[in-house]
Structure 1
Amino acid sequence: MTASTADAAPPTPGPPTDTPHTPARAPAPTPSRLLALLRWKPLHWAALRLVALGVLLAAWQLVVVLEVWPRVLVPSPGEVWHQFILTSTTHDGVRGYGDHLLIEHLAVSLRRIGIGTGYAVLFGVPLGVAIGLLRPVAVVLEPAVTFLRTLPPLAYLSLLVIWFGIDESPKIWLLVIAALPPIAAATAAAVRGVPRDLLEAARALGARRWSTLGGVVLPSALPEILTGVRIAVGVAYTSVVAAETINGVPGIGGMIRDAQRYNQTSVVIVGIIAIGLSGIVLDALLRGAERLLVPWRGRA
């Protein structure tokens, strides 16, 4: 006998055919995902910097319009721009400021900074290596390096003028003394921080003392040494105004100092902006050189 239809198993219900299909929603962007998107769009960062600069200029102009301070103390952005044009060109027979263009003032200061920092690297790196490796040298010379590092440039400028006169020598010496301690201190710390495993491995392979120094110690310490050089350049740049206090024209610091005597605030602001912008460019060049010389930094 065949089974009855009442005893048959009920059919499994399938999905309804009249229900409309709802598309899946994309996940909402999280803050980390937004940051990842912005990281690949440098134009966003450039636009942000332009907006910040615009806000700063607007606030500056507002302070001038409200006359919070006298105009001789806080000139308007337009007056500073006009002074920038005057110091950068020749007008009515007057060439720049002090018979030198702004770019010439800046070039003279950069040359002094380059010479002073070059001598500081030449003597500071060997001094730092000796302090880091030789305990007797560290006992004798490390306090002297720390002593010089804590002195402001103006503290010994008068002494340098007495010794070397008012020509180029005291300016170069001041920048050398200002830039040498950061380089020596960074080099000594970097040399002391070389991993012992590398030194023992080099000795196990038969490397001699000078080979270890040139093949292991200095390459391992080079990233920190370059950081010390960057810091030294910044210190030298902040000291250039003090170095050019005496007979500093041409020179950007001498221009600022001379304009300050005659209450030419707009010229002072032009000099400050020139120092800041050139410092940004110089630091970017140093960071680029650091990436070329030590490409392994941050990867090992």
Structure 2
Amino acid sequence: MSVFVDIAPDAGSPAVGGDARSGGGRWRGRLTRAVLPLLSVLVFGVVWQIAAASGVWNQTFVPYPATVWNAFIDVSTTHDGVRGYAGYLLWEHLYMTLRRVFAGVLIGVALGVLLGLVMGSVPWLRSVLEPWLTFLRALPPLAYFFLLVIWLGIDEAPKITLLALAALPAAAVATTAAVVAAPVGLTEAARALGASRSQVIRDVVIPSALPETFTGIRLAVGMAYSAVVAAELFNGIPGVGGLVKDASNYNNTPVVLVGIFAIGFSGLVIDGLLRAVEKRSVPWRGKI
């Protein structure tokens, strides 16, 4: 006679308990990731309030957080017949800056990734171009912005060109390094199976290079953001960089801080979007 034993775990079995514990651990991890940034912002606000109230620094240099908040409201609305700052609301300044950054980054990253693929695949070309990329990467944006203004005028062309030149080296260097570091074993195996050079690049080199290339793209966006105030030195209004530059001329520290926070927070959002795209596009990162 056969005896069948039901071994399915019940609600109190270790397996279910393990699942519950793992689920609880995930929720605790998510909660921690959400709470810690908020806690750091709160601590920063408290330290800022204490520093402003201490009287060590003049209010021109370290205004109260409430003063900066009021400046944010003023720049974002129409008050006493005045529309925002210099006739534009904060979102209009931010829109113009983001449009310039997007155009510059798109051009710089596209050229940088393409250049990196070529440099990584052709050693002699890498030897020729790498010093020039290093030279460009070492230059601060202001070093060549005035030259771009002389060549291209003071409209949008020098701004977008500056942002593209700021973004290009990071994308190119990261892509070059990723292509050079492509697994030799996989490359040789593909060739042994009859793959052409273009197929090896498409099916082996590019997928293996994508994780580091995305890192380079994120760095390129950061470099472009760091150059945006320089790009908007001339004829930069509307634009957050132009807003910061103009407000600094009048020692208007609250508005300067509003512009800085606008650039920083929008940069965080864009970096988060890039991380989400990277996670979906390169799901194998860290797993192989």
Common fold, TM-score beyond 0.5? yes
Q: Which amino acid aligns with 2:130?
A: E
Q: What is aligned with 1:218?
A: 206
Q: CA–CA distance in 2 between the matches of 1:240 and 1:106? A: 11
Q: Which amino acid aligns with 1:118?
A: L
Q: Which amino acid aligns with 1:153?
A: P
Q: CA–CA distance in 2 between the matches of 1:49 and 1:147? A: 37
TM-score relative to the length of structure 2: 0.89
Q: What is aligned with 2:156?
A: 168
Aligned residue pairs total 266
Q: 1:65-90: CA deviations, max 9, x gaps?
A: 22111111111111100000011111
Q: Which amino acid aligns with 1:101?
A: L
Q: 2:126 aligns with which of 121, 138, 144?
A: 138
Q: What is aligned with 2:270?
A: 282
Q: Which amino acid aligns with 1:155?
A: A
Q: What is aligned with 2:218?
A: 230
Map of 1:124-203 to 2, 5 A cutoff? 124-203=112-191
Q: What is aligned with 2:7?
A: none
Q: 1:43 aligns with which of 27, 31, 48?
A: 31
2:34 aligned with 1:56, yes or no?
A: no
Q: CA–CA distance in 2 between the matches of 1:186 and 1:80? A: 38
In the TM superposition, what is the alpha-carbon distance from 1:41 to its structure 2 partner?
4.5
Q: 1:250-279: CA deviations, max 9, x gaps?
A: 111110000000111000011111111111
Q: CA–CA distance in 1 between the matches of 2:33 and 2:120? A: 41
Over alpha carbons, which structure has the higher Rg? 1
2:137 aligned with 1:120, yes or no?
A: no
Cα 1:41–1:218 change in 2 (3 A) is closer
Instruction: Give the secondary-structure state (helix, strand or coil) at the position aligned to 2:286.
Output: coil
In the TM superposition, what is the alpha-carbon distance from 1:134 to its structure 2 partner?
0.9
Q: CA–CA distance in 2 between the matches of 1:47 and 1:195? A: 40
Instruction: Give the secondary-structure state (helix, strand or coil) at the position aligned to 1:40.
Output: helix
> Structure 2: 5+ residue runs without aligned partners?
1-20
TM-score relative to the length of structure 1: 0.85
> Structure 1: 5+ residue runs without aligned partners?
1-32
Name the Cα RMSD after superposition. Answer: 1.6
Q: CA–CA distance in 1 between the matches of 2:195 and 2:259? A: 53
Percent of aligned pairs with the same residue? 54
Q: 1:19-68: CA deviations, max 9, x gaps?
A: xxxxxxxxxxxxxx9xx958725334433433332222222222222211
2:94 aligned with 1:106, yes or no?
A: yes
**Structure 1 residues 48-57 or 97-106, which shifts more?**
48-57
Q: What is aligned with 1:209?
A: 197
Higher fraction of helix: 2
In the TM superposition, what is the alpha-carbon distance from 1:104 to its structure 2 partner?
1.1
